[in-house]
Amino acid sequence: MIYKLEEILTIVNGKNQKKVENPEGKYPIYGSGGIMGYADQYLCEANAVVIGRKGSINNPLFVDEPFWNVDTAFGLIANDMIIQPKFLFYFCKQFNFEKLNTTVTIPSLTKARLSKIEIDVPDIDIQLLVIDVLDKINELINLYKKQLDKLDLIVKSRFVETFGNLNVNERHWRIARFKEFALIDTKMINDFEKYADYPHIGIDSIEKVTGKLQGYKSVKEDGVISGKYLFTSEHIIYSKIRPNLNKVALPNFEGLCSADAYPILPKKDFCNREFFGYAMRSDIFLNYILAFSSRTNLPKVNKKQVEGFEMPLPPINLQNKFSTFVQKVDKSKLEVQKALEKTEILYKALMQQYFN
C-alpha cells in the first residue's frame, strides 16, 4: 500500500543542545554528520532514523537507543503498526533525498517535502523478511571490511617488527637522502589518444592512509586534456596536495596520474617499493612533509621538499623479505576485496528490487 511519510511516522524537529560536550550525558546527540556528543535528555525514542536537514541530507542513520537530534537533523519515528523502523531506514538509504534540495549552497531538506515522500509499504511479515536479508548482507559486508582492516594492521605490525621505529632509528641503520634510493619520475604525457585506454588516477581516487585505489576511470572516460604523468607497477604515486591526508598508492598496473601527484620510482639496488611505500605512510615521512605544508596558505609540497627527505635505510635483503610478506598479504586482501565487492553489488541490487 502506498503511504506518504507523514501518514506513517512522526517527524521530530531537532533542537539546539547546549550540553553537546557533556561527557556525563546519557543520550547521544546527532546532527546531519553523525554523533556529536551526549545529552542529559532525549527527543526521540529508540529505533528511529536520523536524516540530515542541512548539509549531509543523503546519509540516514538508524539509532537503536533514545537520542537527541540537533537542528541540522530530523528524527523519524515510525508507526510500527504499519512500518517497521528498520524497513523505514533501508527505504531512506535507497531514496535520493538530494533531489528534494532547492538550495544552491548548503544542501537542505524541508519537513514539508520530507512529509510528502511516498513509500510502498508491504505487509509486516514481508518487511521483516526484507530486514532480515539486508541485515545479514550488511553483517557480511562489515565482516569483510574488518578482515581488510586486520590485514592492513598485520602489515603495519610487521613493518615495525622488521625495521623498528624509524623515527628514532633504534636499529642504527645508515641515514640516506631521498635521491640515493629513489627519484621523482615526472614523465609528462600529452598524447591522450595513445593512452586513451590507460587508467587515469586522480588524487581523489587514492584513499587516505590505506592508499587503496578506487573509483577511477580511463583517460578517455575522464576526458583528460591537460598533461599527466606516466606511472608503472614499479612506481609509488604520492599526492602532493593536502599531504595531511597521507595518500600514498602502490599501483599494480600502468596508467597516467594527475599532475597533483608525483610518481616516485625507488632504485632497486637500494630500496624496494613496498618498504618505501609503507615508510611514506608512516610518521617519519608524514611529520617531515607536514612541517613544510603548514607554512603555506596552499597545503601542498614541491619536488625539492620531497627530495630533501632522509631516513634510516635498512639493508636491501631485509627490505625484500618485507616486500615478499606484503605481496602475500596483498593476495589475501585481493580475495577478500573481491568477496566484498560481490556482496556490495548484491546489496545494491536487492535495495533496488525492494524499494524501487
Ranges 131-145, 258-272, 286-300: which has the least confidence: 286-300
- Asked if residue 264 and residue 195 are part of one domain, the reply reads yes
| Whether residue 283 has pLDDT greater than 90 | yes
Please give the mean pLDDT across all residues of the chain. 92
- When pLDDT is cut at 50, 70 and 90, the band that residue 300 belongs to is confident
- Asked if residue 98 and residue 8 are part of one domain, the reply reads yes
> What pLDDT does 294 receive?
62
Domain tally, the chain: 2
**Strand 27-31's sheet: what is its strand order?**
34-39, 27-31, 68-69
- Asked if residue 99 and residue 12 are part of one domain, the reply reads yes
| Whether residue 298 has pLDDT greater than 90 | no
| Residue 168: inside a domain | no
- Asked if residue 180 and residue 78 are part of one domain, the reply reads no
| Residue 82: inside a domain | yes
| Residue 127: inside a domain | no
Task: Note the pLDDT tens digit of each residue in 219-252.
Answer: 999 999 999 999 999 999 999 998 888 999 999 9
| Whether residue 161 has pLDDT greater than 90 | yes
The mean per-residue pLDDT over the stretch 171-179 comes to 95
> What pLDDT does 22 receive?
67
Contact 271/322 with Cβ under 8 angstroms? no
| Whether residue 95 has pLDDT greater than 60 | yes
Out of 88, 121, 154, a domain closes at: 121
| Residue 318: inside a domain | no
- Rounded to 5 degrees, what angle do the CA atoms 82, 85, 86 make? 125
- Asked if residue 209 and residue 111 are part of one domain, the reply reads no
Q: Which residues pair with 175 in a beta bridge?
A: 312
| Residue 291: inside a domain | yes
| Residue 116: inside a domain | yes
- How far, in Å, CA of 135 to CA of 30, rounded? 22
Task: Note the pLDDT tens digit of each residue in 60-73.
Answer: 999 999 999 988 89
Task: Note the pLDDT tens digit of each residue in 1-23.
Answer: 999 999 999 999 988 876 555 66
The mean per-residue pLDDT over the stretch 290-294 comes to 77
Which grid cell sits at 186? 615526472
Report which of residues 310 and 295 the model is more confident about: 310
Percent of the chain with pLDDT over 90: 79
- Asked if residue 77 and residue 194 are part of one domain, the reply reads no
Percent of the chain with pLDDT over 70: 96
> What pLDDT does 21 receive?
58
- Asked if residue 295 and residue 179 are part of one domain, the reply reads yes
- How far, in Å, CA of 222 to CA of 200, rounded? 7
Positive or negative, the CA dihedral 163, 164, 169, 170 is: negative
> What pLDDT does 57 receive?
86
- Asked if residue 9 and residue 85 are part of one domain, the reply reads yes
| Residue 111: inside a domain | yes
- CATH assignment of the domain containing 230: 3.90.220.20
- Asked if residue 178 and residue 114 are part of one domain, the reply reads no
The mean per-residue pLDDT over the stretch 43-59 comes to 91
What angle separates helix 273-281 from helix 316-355, to the nearest 10 degrees? 70
Which grid cell sits at 294? 603548514
Task: Note the pLDDT tens digit of each residue in 111-155.
Answer: 999 999 999 999 999 999 999 999 999 999 999 999 999 999 999
- When pLDDT is cut at 50, 70 and 90, the band that residue 335 belongs to is very high
> What pLDDT does 18 receive?
65
Q: How many CA atoms lie within 13 A of 279 on its CB side?
A: 28
- When pLDDT is cut at 50, 70 and 90, the band that residue 39 belongs to is confident
pTM of the model: 0.83
3-state helix, strand, coil in the chain (%, to 5): 40, 25, 40
- How far, in Å, CA of 246 to CA of 100, rounded? 35
| Whether residue 194 has pLDDT greater than 80 | yes
- Asked if residue 117 and residue 20 are part of one domain, the reply reads yes
- Asked if residue 95 and residue 211 are part of one domain, the reply reads no
> What pLDDT does 147 receive?
97
- Quote the domain boundaries for residue 307: 174-313
> What pLDDT does 102 receive?
75
| Residue 352: inside a domain | no
